């Protein structure tokens, strides 16, 4: 098991910290000494996760706060509370997401659910919290992407999937957008001389509730997830599946602009290491256009 380096003195925000890779990351980063803010949509579930982590690590410093990444007002409210306190933020982990709901749903702001909550919400949160991150000594933004980003396209003609919704293609688009966010933020940090690392990770095929939760949205009965019909694929438990995220968020050796994931069979399982960034995430024209669109849709901008 990957041993997280000492995180004493760091304050870390993790979205989606009540389950799956987010919960595991919260537990292990807190066990390494960090003060972890568990940013969750349902505080009751966050408190349950906090209690479970404290049973494993009684000295863990954890705080549950509510955020709904599918509601930009909620994202702004969460950020405003941290900005009002004014304390530096060492790490932001954009982990939360929804995966392949079978029918098209929209966010509180009218965006297609996956594009809105997987990309626009984290984009806005990152923009809002950059002033606090830039006050820290060695700040970092780590964004969870997915292997499906390799198959994604940014469909500027129908970003919100209003004409012909596809659960899998819209998910792939949102995860490619996350990877573009991470790569472009690293470039911007370099251009502006910011001491900020922007890293990305993917969990391979990790068994969590992500696959089933998204597939069950809007359905009375549980549904099979995106990978549930492919039992022959190698998979791993959450302890190992969270390790690329932990490495990208907490290891001194993780490099800005890089991408980390499992290095075993098909890139789905195994020890963490560098992952290949699809050329679509490095397309300068696509990245610049997507960034402009995200700023316009969220009403957020880079700090002066």
Identify whether the C-beta of residue 105 lies closer than 8 Å to the C-beta of residue 93: no
Mutual angle of helices 43-56 and 20-31, in 10-degree steps: 40
pLDDT top residue among 162 and 234: 162
Band (163; pLDDT cuts 50, 70, 90): very high
pLDDT of residue 215: 55
Distance separating alpha carbons of residues 25 and 120, to the nearest angstrom: 22
Identify whether the C-beta of residue 89 lies closer than 8 Å to the C-beta of residue 36: no
* Nearest Cα to Cα of residue 62 among 80, 82, 45, 39: 39
Band (233; pLDDT cuts 50, 70, 90): confident
**What single string gives the DSSP state of each residue in 111-156?**
-BHHIIIIIIHHHHHHHHHHHHHTTSSS-EEEEE--GGGGG----T
Q: What are phi and psi of 201, to 5 degrees?
A: -145, 160
Distance separating alpha carbons of residues 52 and 74, to the nearest angstrom: 26
Whether 296 shows a pLDDT value over 90: the answer reads yes
Lookup result for tokens 């999937």: 161
pLDDT of residue 304: 84
Runs of H (alpha helix) within 193-283: 210-215, 238-241, 243-250
pLDDT tens-place string over residues 69-103: 999 999 999 999 999 999 999 999 999 999 999 99
Tell me the average pLDDT across 159-170. 97
Q: Using CA of residue 73, residue 36, residue 20, residue 244, what is the dihedral sign?
A: positive
Residues with active-site annotation: 171
Strand partners, 274: 260
Strand partners, 272: 262
Q: How many CA atoms lie within 13 A of 214 on its CB side?
A: 23
Tell me the two tokens of residue 192.
């502006």
pLDDT of residue 10: 98
**Mean pLDDT, rounded, of the chain:** 94
E runs forming strands in 9-111:
11-15, 35-40, 61-66, 91-94
Distance separating alpha carbons of residues 81 and 92, to the nearest angstrom: 15
CA-CA distances (angstroms) from residue 145 to 48, 70, 74, 105, 251? Answer: 26, 17, 22, 21, 18
Whether 214 shows a pLDDT value over 70: the answer reads no
């Amino acid at each position: 098991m990957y041993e997280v380096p000492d995180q004493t003195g760091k304050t870390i925000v993790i979205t989606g910290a009540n389950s799956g890779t987010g919960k595991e990351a919260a537990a292990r980063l807190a066990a390494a000494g960090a003060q972890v803010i568990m940013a969750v949509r349902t505080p009751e579930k966050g408190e349950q996760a906090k209690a479970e982590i404290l049973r494993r690590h009684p000295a863990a410093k954890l705080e549950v706060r509510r955020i709904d990444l599918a509601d930009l007002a909620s994202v702004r409210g969460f950020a405003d509370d941290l900005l009002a306190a004014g304390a530096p933020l060492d790490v932001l982990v954009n982990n939360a997401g929804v995966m392949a709901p079978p029918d098209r749903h929209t966010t509180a702001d009218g965006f297609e659910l996956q594009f809105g909550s997987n990309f626009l919400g984290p984009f806005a949160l990152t923009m809002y919290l950059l002033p606090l991150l830039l006050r820290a000594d060695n700040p970092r933004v780590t964004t969870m992407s997915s292997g499906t980003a390799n198959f994604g396209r940014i469909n500027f003609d129908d970003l919100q999937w209003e004409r012909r919704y596809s659960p899998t293609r819209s998910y792939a688009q949102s995860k490619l957008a996350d990877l573009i966010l991470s790569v472009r933020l690293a470039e911007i940090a370099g251009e502006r001389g910011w001491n900020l690392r922007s890293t990305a990770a993917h969990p391979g095929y990790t068994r969590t509730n992500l696959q089933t939760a998204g597939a069950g949205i809007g359905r009375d009965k549980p549904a099979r997830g995106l990978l549930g019909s492919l039992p022959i694929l190698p998979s791993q438990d959450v302890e190992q599946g969270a390790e690329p995220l932990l490495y990208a968020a907490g290891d001194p050796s993780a490099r800005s602009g890089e991408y980390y994931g499992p290095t075993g069979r098909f890139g789905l399982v195994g020890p963490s290491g560098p992952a290949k960034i699809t050329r679509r995430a490095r397309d300068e024209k696509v990245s610049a256009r997507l960034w402009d669109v995200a700023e316009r849709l969220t009403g957020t901008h880079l700090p002066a």
